[in-house]
Amino acid sequence: MSVTSEEINYLIFRYLQESGFVHTGFAFQNESHIHRSEYRNANVQPGALVNVLQKGLLYMDLELHVNEDGSERECTGPVALIGPHRCDKQAKKPKREEVVNRGSKRDRKDSKRAQKQQQDREKRARTEADEEEKDDNMMDTDQVEDVSVVGTPAESADLAEVKVIPASDAITLKGHAADVFVCSWNPTSPSLLASGSGDATARIWQIPTNADEPLQDPIVLKHLPALTNANRDVTTMDWNSSGTLLATGFYDGQARIWTQRGQLRYLMSQHRGPIFALKWNKKGNYILTGSLDHTTIVWDAVTGDAKQQHEFHTGAVLDVDWLDNTTFATSSSDGKVYVCKVGSTEPLRVFEGHKDEVNAIRWDPLGELLASCSDDKTAKIWSMSQKDCIFDLTAHSEAVYDMTWAPREASSKDPRILATASFDTSVRLWDANNGECLRVLSRHIEAVYTVAFNPSGTHLATGSPDHTINIWRVQDGALVKTYQGEGGIFEVDWNSTGDKLAACVANGTLVVAHVKL
């Protein structure tokens, strides 16, 4: 085996071209005489240099963690291209398939969905086996009637009032070449929508006021070429509060800051694994990211530099949320929730109580309570004033994947409402003042992936892999509008004026519905 400097130079040259470093690539070509090389017309796949480096890291990983007898040494510490490796023997090294399954929001949902489907199949098999043992005479008239019942008269009346959102009130945004599973409306420009996909791009769309108006071509934000179709995901995105900058997280572990016009302002590289969560603070001077590498990083948004990296978790960081401009919470597959402060080397609080990975965390609008939801089928509400949760919400029968707080003013006497979405096909509305379940919203026929309140808090949108978007009235839990899409729904999001609802669809499109409530 031999490697020549000409081969290395050519891979570097291709990397510079693919990354958009046009002037640097031109200078490097002239200085290294690539144009005279025998490899100048070589057929090299995109991302070849990164591919070689990653394979080298895999070899280094094996070399560092294989004992003399051939057994594998347990270690969760990532092997880096630059810097010394530190073995972490306190936690078991994750299996390769676990890493793949947590590769993006989409992959984690698909993995959970597959687990639930397997459980349902096993449950049906057990039920069918039990029924076969019963005598045929046990199937009486009442049982036959139960099978044919669609719903109670009240439920049937409710269904008659549900209005289907017509195709004329919806715009389908096409252009992504893979599933679209994250989107974010600009907070100050109600017609500006960003989307992220598994095609290694994000896009910024200008949505027409009316569905029949022509649609402009989006601004395409190209991320670095990924190695395979499995890891080309823009995993998360968030606008700053002024709506001037968009931050994106990518599977390659890098965060990026873009302008409204699609110009890349900063490329932020310090994570050693895919980024799962990303949030701006309200002031807009810090960005917080969480990664598969078990760490969170606070980035200085003015300079693009990493200000502080926290390494408290022993599992992948799945979500992050700011309490204020300097205090934030993080959740992880290790089942723990940490509350940290910029500049502090120790957490302010450690909330323990979940028995499985914590999928999401959200501070309430008043900044007094923190909600968390988990694969352990529960959601919990915490307060900084005590160690244990103040309410343990246990009514769901499957994993709780997403949740959101209803908007609320400090002077309001209305209950603090938390909505939770579960793989048991239901959404529940909770009163956070007493922990009681106010409503059960259960018209979806598959797991509910996403929930979002409109800006006034009067209605709740939900999305599911059953291809359905439902809009519910919070006051009485009535289903008032529904939309049947052409693919599973990964995420829904309202614009700042509440007249448009965006949905990410598994067929590579976005749907924007013009909603009149």
Tokens of 78: 């990532």
Q: SS3 breakdown of the chain: % helix, strand, coil, rounded to 5?
A: 20, 35, 45
Most confident of 10-14, 158-162, 256-260: 256-260
End-to-end CA distance of the chain: 68
**Cβ distance 318 to 277 under 8 Å?**
yes
Residue 123 has pLDDT above 80, yes or no: no
For a pLDDT cut of 90, what percent of the chain falls above it?
62
* Domain annotation covers residue 122: yes
Q: Is residue 128 in some structural domain? A: yes
User: Of 208, 204, 209, which Cα lies nearest the Cα of 184?
Assistant: 204
Nearest to 494 by CA among 466, 474, 465, 514: 514
Confidence of residue 60 (pLDDT cuts 50, 70, 90): confident
Q: Indicate whether 514 belongs to any domain.
A: no
For helices 5-18 and 48-65, what crossing angle results, to 10°? 120
DSSP 8-state secondary structure symbol assigned to residue 435 = T
Instruction: Tell me the C-alpha distance between 503 and 191, whole Å.
Output: 14
Q: What is the average pLDDT score of the chain?
A: 84
Q: Using 50, 70 and 90 to split pLDDT, how confident is the model at 36? A: confident
Q: Would you state the pLDDT for residue 210?
A: 76
Q: Does 349 fall in a domain?
A: no
Most confident of 16-25, 130-139, 386-395: 386-395
Q: 490 pLDDT band (50/70/90 cuts)? A: very high
Q: Residue 100: what pLDDT?
A: 37
The answer, yes or no, to whether residue 99 has pLDDT greater than 50, is no
CA–CA distance, 517 with 514 (Å, rounded to integer): 10
Segment 255-279 mean pLDDT: 94
> Average pLDDT, stretch 224-231?
56
Range of the domain at 124: 105-148
- pLDDT confidence bin for 120, thresholds 50/70/90: low
pLDDT beyond 90 at 282: yes
Task: Give a yes or no: residue 127 inside a domain.
Answer: yes
In a domain, 125, yes or no: yes
Q: How confident is the model at residue 114 (pLDDT cuts 50, 70, 90)?
A: low
User: pLDDT tens for residues 298-315?
Assistant: 999 999 999 999 999 999
Predicted confidence at residue 81, as pLDDT, reads 66
Instruction: Report residue 145's pLDDT band, with 50, 70 and 90 as the boundaries.
Output: very low
Report the number of distinct structural domains present in the chain: 1
In a domain, 386, yes or no: no
Structure tokens at 28: 């490097």
- Alpha-carbon distance of 290 to 338, in angstroms, equals 12
* 192: CB partners within 8 A, 6+ apart: 185, 186, 204, 205, 206, 207, 243, 260
Query: For residue 248, is pLDDT > 70?
Result: yes
Q: Tokens for 54?
A: 């990653």
479 within some domain:
no
Q: Burial, 155: exposed, middle or buried (Cβ in 10 Å; 0-12, 13-18, 19+)?
A: exposed
Distances (CA, A) of 471 to 459, 480, 482, 493: 7, 6, 6, 12
pLDDT at 10: 82
Residue 152: CB atoms within 10 Å: 9
Q: What is the pLDDT of residue 80?
A: 64
> Which residue, among 36, 34, 41, 45, has the nearest Cα to 8 in the 3D structure?
34
Identify the pLDDT of residue 95. Answer: 34
Lowest-pLDDT range of 52-66, 174-188, 254-268, 496-510: 52-66
Of the listed ranges 142-156, 230-244, 301-315, the least confidently predicted one is 142-156
How far is CA 302 from its chain centroid? 25
Indicate if the alpha-carbon torsion angle 480, 474, 502, 378 is positive or negative. Answer: negative
Residue 93 — pLDDT band, cuts 50, 70, 90?
very low
Residue 66: per-residue pLDDT: 66
Q: What is the pLDDT of residues 321-372, one digit of tens each?
A: 999 999 999 999 999 999 999 999 999 999 999 999 999 999 999 999 999 9
- Report the pLDDT value the prediction gives residue 409, as an integer from 0 to 100: 81
Whether the pLDDT of residue 157 is over 90: the answer is: no
CA angle 332, 333, 339 (to 5 degrees): 20
Q: What length does the chain have?
A: 517
